[in-house]
Structure 1
């Protein structure tokens, strides 16, 4: 059943695209609340500390600003103007590029390069050169950042840089399609080397699919298909995209937290790109994942807050901070599939994290605002 007034009147069989379209105005308003007009930045977090209190903005984040720009580029000029208080999206995107060129970390560099290439159609040579340095340096690099670099290189039509990132990803992929958290995985140490999170899977799917489409690369498409097939195979029965996976055998290391953005934004956008590139269509998994937002076994408390124009960040376990994730990483490092006994009884899922980060709303817009039904939404 739909648990928020935003879905009042919609029957259970309402198509996913229509339900996603209903969230586009909410995401726009939520992004506007996260925008800091005085400095042209986005907050790190919007947090509700008390049930009846105000949502508070905390910190700033350059990565999230780049993702917001990508999402707004698909939402249309009217929504972009509303969020950015009339500041042109082109101008806002250039501020991101300037900030990323001033000593930003690898993920921010990659996202800024992606944003400038896609939003403005003007590849940044300085950011592309910086990514080339990062990919050829003899030091570890996160899988997520590598995937973003590949997507940015494809958007910039830099075939040499794209090939570097593509090869790095393919070299890190496990036999069952699962990626670790870093390249090389051994850099994370014995207890963590085998673990990759959901983001470590979904961004490579997207990046490799885009590379395959642009450069007609069957190997890259096959790699993206393997990862997608595996995460869909182990998807929860209520549509949950699980959190930690084992790169050695493709098994699930730990299910929770389940993040809302994985359900409504990241999985749809990457799997849409895979299908568009000629890969396997996983529309059923997208639909099932999206439905988890409103119908799930972990809790009946709403995740979608029409009152705050936010989607709460995640459903986790009742546990000491990250205890089960850490313990599961250790036990599965000793033997794949070996997990804490009775963990769902001792540490049941259910608590909602009442915060929302701007990138989550940005990815929702990016995934759905360009869909036909979303374009018709006023």
Structure 2
């Protein structure tokens, strides 16, 4: 963040404010006993005029692993303050112990990634479970495939993962449609309805570009770096005038299908952590786009000057998103179907019918975990 202090002092103070909020907010995300995290803290308000408060709901091993990845960036003493007396490595150990019961590839990949980053002595157990779940044939969700690659890249130097890493890397690179810069939601046909096969969300871009950048950083791979650079360049070219990182893309054409919701985590954490990793790997520096996205958090143009702020220091949360309020994500569905038949068709009357003026008042642990991961690295700003 030191470079940011020289480039834009107001944004530097904003990142300090957000990282402090994350440190203060994550302890409330822990389960009783501190052995995991909740799925979300959702807003509740007694009566229509009372103050907002948050209440925990559900559990998530996936979010616990991302929490460990973020908290690992803190000094040891502060790790224990956030994680109920445990270090990030010790917290990750609890997740590794639960791996035999984990059935989801993405969850296992994130736990393995955390095990590698914290240099946990049972990394080999995590790698074995990841291998058991990552069957060599068939498509995978792109985000989960990217997490597998990031985990294996982090494990390099601690274990022999080269054959598996090469296969995971090739799977991501070949997932792109006709070699375009953007990624669809799955690495191949079969997981999604045909009308959605051309669509990729924002996470389908940031996690692969991050994984490919990390692959190059861990062992020279110019092709992986070039793919990461191309993806980053395209999403930055498509960034909204107010700094918005848009939601869904046509991976065939490299265009936006539907902009909303705009998620806070995309603005303050996911775009920064992926694009910083790209720069650290020797790729293009997209600091101006990162700064524009971060600035959106303080004054979303969709909401107006008198709107409730998205950053709630009093509750130690950032509200999850600004969205249209359309039932069952109707705008995305309509535009997905329309662009399958006629690429580029926007159905613009939907913008007037469903305006993005609603706030989703919840906050999930991974949002704060990625926030720490983004802004507490060695070369941030």
Give the TM-score normalised by structure 1: 0.92
Per the alignment, residue 101 of structure 1 pairs with 100
Q: Per-residue deviation at 1:161?
A: 1.5
Other-structure match for 1:359:
366
Equivalent positions of 1:26-175 (< 5 A) are 26-38=21-33, 40-50=35-45, 52-122=51-121, 124-157=123-156, 158-174=161-177, 175=179
1:303 to 296, 299, 310: 310
Aligned to 1:3: none
Count, aligned residues: 364
- Alignment check: 8 A CA contact 2:39 2:56 kept: yes
TM-score (norm 2): 0.91
Give 1:76 shift.
Answer: 1.9
Q: How far did 1:266 drift?
A: 0.7
Q: Deviations over 1:19-38 (max 9, x none)?
A: 21221121111101111142
Whole-Å separation in 2 of the counterparts to 1:54 and 1:295: 22
**Against the structure 1 CA distance between its residues 373 and 197, is the aligned structure 2 distance closer, same or farther, given a 3 Å change threshold?**
closer
Q: Deviations 1:187-227 (Å, cap 9, x if unpaired)?
A: 31211100000000000111000111222111000000110
User: Measured at CA, do residues 179 and 123 of structure 1 come closer, stay the same or move farther in structure 2, by a change above 3 Å?
Assistant: farther
234-243 or 336-345: bigger deviation: 336-345
Q: CA RMSD in A?
A: 1.9
The 1-side partners of 2:259 and 2:311 are apart by 21
Q: Secondary structure at the match of 2:118?
A: helix
Deviation at 1:100, TM superposition (A): 2.4
Deviates more, 1:256-265 or 1:292-301: 292-301
Query: How far apart, CA to CA, are the structure 2 residues paired with 1:106 and 1:212?
Result: 23
2:328 is aligned with 1:321? yes
User: Aligned pair in 2 of structure 1 residues 283, 372: CA closer, same or farther (>3 Å)?
Assistant: closer
Render the CA deviation track for 1:70-124: whole Å, top value 9, x for unaligned.
Answer: 1111022232222222123322110111212323310110000000110125462
Q: Please, which of 228, 242, 245 is the counterpart of residue 246 of structure 2?
A: 242
Residue of structure 2 equivalent to 1:5:
none
Name the SS for the 1:60 alignment partner.
Answer: coil
SS of the residue 1:188 aligns to: coil
* CA–CA distance in structure 2, aligned partners of residues 21 and 39 of structure 1: 26
Query: Which of 326, 340, 344 is the aligned partner of 2:351?
Result: 344
* Other structure's SS at 2:41 match: strand
Distance 1:354 1:346 in 2: 22
Distance in 1 (CA, whole Å) between partners of 2:343 and 2:311 is 36
Q: Secondary structure at the match of 2:72?
A: helix
Q: Is the contact made by 2:67 and 2:366 (CA closer than 8 Å) also made in structure 1?
A: yes
In the TM superposition, residue 308 of structure 1 has moved relative to its aligned partner by 0.2
Cα distance in 2, alignment partners of residues 123 and 183 from structure 1: 30
Deviation (angstroms), 1:133: 4.3
Distance 1:53 1:294 in 2: 19
Q: 1:145–1:286: structure 2 CA closer, same or farther, 3 Å change rule? A: same
CA–CA distance in structure 2, aligned partners of residues 246 and 57 of structure 1:
35
In 1: Cα distance, 2:277 partner to 2:122 partner: 21
Maintained 8 Å contact 1:42/1:64? yes
Which consecutive unaligned segments of at least 5 residues does structure 1 have? 1-9
Return the offset for 1:49: 2.2
Shift of 1:160: 1.7
CA distance in 2, matches of 1:39, 1:146: 29
Cα distance in 2 between the residues matched to 1:273 and 1:123: 26
Structure 2 unmatched runs, 5+: none
